[in-house]
Structure 1
Amino acid sequence: MFKSGFITIIGRPNVGKSTLLNYIMEEKLSIVSSKPQTTRNNIQTILTDKESQIIFVDTPGIHKPRHKLGEYMVNVATDALKEVDVVLFLTTPEGEFGKGDEYILNQLEAAKVPVFLVVNKIDENTQERVAKTLQIYAEKFKFAEIIPISAAKGKNVDKLMEIVKNYIPEGPMYYPEDMITDQQERFIVAETIREKALRLLSEEVPHGIGVDIITMKKKENGAYEINADMLCEKDSHKGIVIGKNGEMLKKITQYSRQDLETFLQCKVYLKIWVRVKKDWRDNNTVLRELGYK
């Protein structure tokens, strides 16, 4: 009996949703950063073995939106609750139960599918704090399963996947067995560049950064030639992104190229231009161009 199902991972920003997905897939398909609101689109990632095919949807964190891009991110996250087989609600022991958690759990009440409580980052917290978190959330919602994990270390992740397989129905193989994502290469390239900017830049800049792939061509020698625009909202941010004598932009380009060569399995020639588009996160035209509409 072959089983197949759709799983959505949901939770507040910065609880480790992308880290969990990356560990499961052993592929860096969803960008990981220490800063919240890193993921902006829901990335479908496909895990296939002899008995099953599980399609994961990694969603943006649910939060109170402050601009049109934020509204888009929240809509994507809540839409992902529809027509899935299991919801993994991810949280951590690091913060108190708050209005954000309550808002998400209210959304989950209408999901009408099994909801797992997955408490991440147990390796970074005491057993007492983890136990307290498990108790608090169990009192707030009737979860189908409660599983503490460390996505970064892989602790209990295999156990989580075994239990997930018990809940997905008998079904067909929706995607070819060697396919691991439905995202186009250009999208993953843009997300890789944005991740490097998130990791390297100061706190005031990252959320105002977008990446637009202008050209992506495969040359006769098999190498890729990629030209990208990095958008920022202020002239002062442009200076920070470029850095003194262009050093910051060189680092972003260098680290991006290294990851892209691993992903594309070939030589990559990458050029990034920094452009100012004031308030682009509230500009519907720009959001559409970047794939957020």
Structure 2
Amino acid sequence: MTAFDPFEGMTDDELDAFIESEEGGAGAAPLKGNEPEGFRSGFVALVGRPNAGKSTLLNACLGEKVAITSPVAQTTRRRMRGVLNREGCQIVFVDTPGLHKPQDSLGGELNRSALMELDDVDVIAMLIDATKPVGRGDAWVAERVKKSRAKKVLVLTKLDLARPDAVSRQLEEARRLMDFDDEIVVSSTDGFNVDGFCDLVASYLPEGPRWFPEGMTTDESDEMLVAEFVREKVLMRTEQEVPHAVGVVCDSIESKKGGRVLAIHATILVERDGQKGIIIGRGGSMVKHIGTDARRDLERVFGRQVFLDLEVKVSPGWRSDVREIHRMGYAADD
């Protein structure tokens, strides 16, 4: 994915409609275009417990990485929309934070962000991990999904990691949660049934024009993409040591050397001095690795050389500080 200007080539009417859709959410006016008769478009929410595979499925559907992933629960902290343009339809996938029992203000905001999407979409894809027993957490999610008027599709994920007999049991248990309109089994890692999943949800979308310009794959700002890719590398490098206490803010992005280089500064926030020491590492080795890993992804995203400067700061109890949660873009209404 290269840097893309969604406003390039748009008429004034198209620009007004796009801005309106960004301000009003899924219920706002779509773009005006010349789509053929029978063109389908709409919003598909990916919901489920933490680590059900929502972001991995989103990336697989789009054919490129726009959402961060890691083995750590609650990796996704923001609602992200990924846009898939296919012949005859535009599918806007809404990747939501994993629904869970919150332990702090941040957890409460993540749940609220995910639940807000259920009333504003055409299809809800409820993801259930094929490798883990269906439990109370799944039942809790299902109770929320039931209340939506959207079409509901059961998606059993991680088929590549599950035994066939376990898959059959999981499907039986999942069907008891609620009456789904449809179901499908997928492996995002192997690509099994990913196209089939896209075909399935597209069949439930209403006829209508596009919501986003062709060529646009995500509605995330450059600053949020930077913050998320840096946070992903922190999660991958530090594993279980500091994951939930980490937040990242992109402070600045500047174009240098005639636009050939982007100079980016970002701040990694933790809650304790010990966590800061882990992220910095001996002689700055850990933060250097984090920066190198993140820079590779950012150069792919922006299509140019990136100079990434990372700073690590301690902000005690930031996950219970509503102001900090808003500053990082994790609040439900951000």
After TM superposition, the score normalised by the length of structure 1 is 0.98
The reply on whether 1:19 has 2:29 as its aligned counterpart is no
The reply on whether 1:78 has 2:115 as its aligned counterpart is yes
Partner in structure 1 of residue 149 of structure 2: 112
Q: Secondary structure at the match of 1:28?
A: coil
Q: Secondary structure at the match of 1:20?
A: helix
The reply on whether 1:172 has 2:214 as its aligned counterpart is no
**Alpha-carbon offset, residue 140 of structure 1:** 2.4
Separation in 2, partners of 1:226, 1:262: 15
Tell me, yes or no, if the aligned pair for 2:119 and 2:149 is still in contact at 8 Å: no
Residue ranges of structure 2 left out of the alignment (5+ in a row): 1-37
Partner in structure 2 of residue 257 of structure 1: 295
Partner in structure 2 of residue 184 of structure 1: 221
Tell me, yes or no, if the aligned pair for 2:81 and 2:218 is still in contact at 8 Å: yes
**Alpha-carbon offset, residue 92 of structure 1:** 1.3
Partner in structure 1 of residue 257 of structure 2: 220
Tell me, yes or no, if the aligned pair for 2:72 and 2:239 is still in contact at 8 Å: no
Report the AA paired with residue 134 of structure 1.
Answer: L
**Alpha-carbon offset, residue 288 of structure 1:** 1.5
Report the AA paired with residue 251 of structure 1.
Answer: H
**Alpha-carbon offset, residue 114 of structure 1:** 1.3
Report the AA paired with residue 101 of structure 1.
Answer: D
Tell me, yes or no, if the aligned pair for 2:119 and 2:150 is still in contact at 8 Å: no
CA displacement, residues 96-123 of structure 1 (integer Å, 9 cap, x when unaligned): 2221111101001101221111000111
Q: Secondary structure at the match of 2:114?
A: helix
The reply on whether 1:31 has 2:68 as its aligned counterpart is yes
**Alpha-carbon offset, residue 87 of structure 1:** 0.5
CA displacement, residues 36-90 of structure 1 (integer Å, 9 cap, x when unaligned): 1000011011111230111110000000001111000000111110121110000
Partner in structure 2 of residue 283 of structure 1: 321
Q: Secondary structure at the match of 2:267?
A: strand
**Alpha-carbon offset, residue 194 of structure 1:** 0.3
**Alpha-carbon offset, residue 93 of structure 1:** 2.1
Separation in 2, partners of 1:148, 1:122: 7
Task: Decide which of 196, 215, 223 is 2:233's aligned counterpart.
Answer: 196
Report the AA paired with residue 160 of structure 2.
Answer: D
- Larger deviation, residues 217-226 vs 252-261: 217-226
Partner in structure 2 of residue 235 of structure 1: 273
Separation in 2, partners of 1:158, 1:67: 38
CA displacement, residues 193-233 of structure 1 (integer Å, 9 cap, x when unaligned): 00000000041301100111111111133210001110000
**Alpha-carbon offset, residue 19 of structure 1:** 0.3
Residue ranges of structure 1 left out of the alignment (5+ in a row): none
The reply on whether 1:128 has 2:195 as its aligned counterpart is no
The reply on whether 1:94 has 2:131 as its aligned counterpart is yes
CA displacement, residues 264-283 of structure 1 (integer Å, 9 cap, x when unaligned): 00000011010000010111
Separation in 2, partners of 1:140, 1:80: 20
Identity %: 38
Separation in 2, partners of 1:279, 1:5: 39
RMSD of aligned Cα (Å): 0.9
**Alpha-carbon offset, residue 147 of structure 1:** 0.6
Separation in 2, partners of 1:241, 1:83: 39
- Larger deviation, residues 34-43 vs 92-101: 92-101
Separation in 2, partners of 1:234, 1:26: 38
Q: List structure 1 segments (4+ residues) > 3 angstroms apart after TM superposition.
A: none
Task: Decide which of 96, 102, 106 is 1:65's aligned counterpart.
Answer: 102
After TM superposition, the score normalised by the length of structure 2 is 0.86
Separation in 1, partners of 2:326, 2:73: 22
Q: Secondary structure at the match of 2:257?
A: coil
Separation in 1, partners of 2:266, 2:206: 42
**Alpha-carbon offset, residue 175 of structure 1:** 1.2
Separation in 2, partners of 1:204, 1:131: 36
Task: Decide which of 291, 297, 307 is 1:269's aligned counterpart.
Answer: 307
Report the AA paired with residue 277 of structure 1.
Answer: S
Separation in 1, partners of 2:130, 2:69: 20
